[in-house]
Amino acid sequence: MKKIATSENISELIDLNRIYVDKTEYIFKLVDNYTRIFFSRPRRFGKSLTLNTIGTLFEQGVDPYFKGTWIYDKWEFGTYPVLRLNFLDYSTDDLEEFKEFLSADLSDFAEDLGLTGKVKSSHPVLALKQLCKALGSGQMVLLIDEYDCQLTANINDKVLYEKFRKIIRRFYGALKGKKQIRFLAVTGVTRLKDVSIFSVGSDIEDLTYESAFSQMIGFTREEIKRFYSDYLKLGVCYENNEQIKPEDVTAKQVEEFLDRMAYHYDGYCFDNKYRDKVFSTWSVNHFLRAIGTDKEVKFGDYWYDAGGVPSILANYLKTHTLEVSVLQQDAIRISYEDFQNPTSLTSINQSVLMCQTGYLTLKSPLNEDCLFVTLGFANQEVRKALSRLLMFRFISEDFLKTHPAREALAQYDAKELVLFFNKMLAAVAYDRYPLKEESMVRALLQVFLQGSGLKVEVEKHNSKGRCDLMAHTKERHVVFELKYSPDGADEQTLLAEAVDQIKRRDYGAELDDGKAVLRLALVFNGRDDERKFTLWQQVQ
């Protein structure tokens, strides 16, 4: 089998005979219809590979790296010198150094073209003007990756943020209308109205949610079937303990395997018509590579494990509290204006920021006729990633190291389990996460269990009703029905109600895989001197 890609460089992928999921038809349409474009995507989604592919086509044409791809006999746009700028290479805390290094890259590019001594300024705006003047009637392609790096790094430093914002604004303003730029592509994580990509640089088209290019970055289900067929069949074999051979795997088995992959890694939507969705490229590549190397199927949390919290969200959380309640919502509604035109990272709507960083995704059409936009979780992987993020925010690392949730749910009896949860809740910073209602108690349990890597279902439905929480281990299922008493006065009544609900609605009866089922009715006392589960009963 061809090995799976680990590089963001198209030439390296081809030279090393790695799998390349062919996106060149999108790139052809992009270059054929636009000359200046911008798109944002969460980290580790394939932005850099897309820019590199565009740059390689403009720099070298289709030979030798595009044989066998859609674009091979269709490229008609010629070749040009390509200037690649990655703002990750520049200082995020020293404005003068930032300007100096960016200007130096413009000067070096001119030198490489034989334009010796033509770009002398250490100010990037003037250096850019000097470069365009030196090119004369010639043209270049300009590709800018991670344009927002300096802004995201300074989300909590308003003074430095504003200084970087102004210089970036002026830089993009200087690009406007320059005939020396044959094609311009800019990418990053965030979409901001005030960086001048959407104002001074108004000739740059924002294609972030353009339907025609919504699947240019990310993998579609059909692409995974086409380019990773051998790995899918191998995954089916390992799931069946190698009782069947790859050549005997049926199309139906492949589709069922893809369904399980979709639950974990699909569901990202960048389509303003809300029709097309994509899988996470990073997660799919690492999941399938693990099948080949480890010879087993493990639905891991590859996106979060690769780099933890995105830097922008990490910086944001230094001065903001992320709402636990977001985990309880399948649909989050925000105004169209807030979503489409965020003006600054220092005042951005929290849900919009979570969408731009990949924790939420579009769940409704995006058009001006709609007053509101709906956001939600793309898949199980990001829901668990957010749980882990929140878990580490409100529970100490020492507690997590010494109190493994997976072991507790798998082995503890009912009494031990209740004591275990009370220890966890006692570790919560009450001023940040006050347990004033049942929904908050449930949310914190969900965060803790899901963040620990367990499969958790909230308000799990059966034919008679829905239980509050259900958690699953390899050994057993645990069903929770929660009640909240603000002062402890009605605890016995609430416990009886919880027990009756479990019995009457037969929670857990739908679980028929042979594992043990532990059903717990729990009452949380919210009084200041309690704040714990004070009554509980195991329901047979």
464-482 pLDDT, tens digit each = 778 889 999 999 999 999 9
CA torsion sign, 527 to 528 to 532 to 534? negative
Can you give the pLDDT at residue 15? 94
Q: What is the pLDDT of residue 368?
A: 80
Evaluate if residue 24 carries a pLDDT over 80: yes
Structure confidence by residue, pLDDT tens digits, 89-120 = 999 999 999 999 999 999 999 999 999 999 99
Does position 195 have pLDDT exceeding 60, yes or no? no
Q: Where in the chain is the domain with CATH 3.40.1350?
A: 395-538
Cα separation, 265 vs 19, in Å, equals 19
CB atoms within 10 A of CB 137: 6
Confirm if 135 and 180 have CB atoms less than 8 A apart: yes
Residue 276: what residue type? D
- State phi, psi for 74 to the nearest 5 degrees: -125, -15
36-40 vs 181-188, strand pairing mode: parallel
CATH homologous superfamily of 10-213: P-loop containing nucleotide triphosphate hydrolases (3.40.50.300)
Q: Is 139 exposed, middle or buried (0-12, 13-18, 19+ CB in 10 A)?
A: middle
The pLDDT tens digits of the residues spanning 374-402 come to 999 999 898 888 888 878 777 777 777 78
Strand order in the sheet with 36-40: 82-86, 140-145, 181-188, 36-40, 205-206
3-state secondary structure of 406: helix
pLDDT band at residue 370 under the 50/70/90 scheme: confident
- The model's pTM is 0.88
CB 301 within 8 A of CB 413: no
Q: Which of 239-243, 371-375, 430-434 has the lowest mean pLDDT?
A: 430-434
Determine contact, residues 180/138, Cβ cutoff 8 Å: yes
Q: Give the pLDDT confidence score for residue 316 in this predicted structure.
A: 80
pLDDT at 364 over 60: yes
Q: Which of 279, 285, 303 is nearest to 219 (CA)?
A: 279
- Tell me where in the chain the CATH 3.40.50.300 domain(s) lie: 10-213
What is the second-level CATH architecture of the domain 395-538? 3-Layer(aba) Sandwich (3.40)
The whole-angstrom separation of Cα 174 and Cα 201 is 8
- Token output for 238: 């390992």
Q: Find the helix or strand (DSSP H, E) in which 205 lies.
A: strand 205-206
Instruction: Give residue 315's pLDDT.
Output: 79
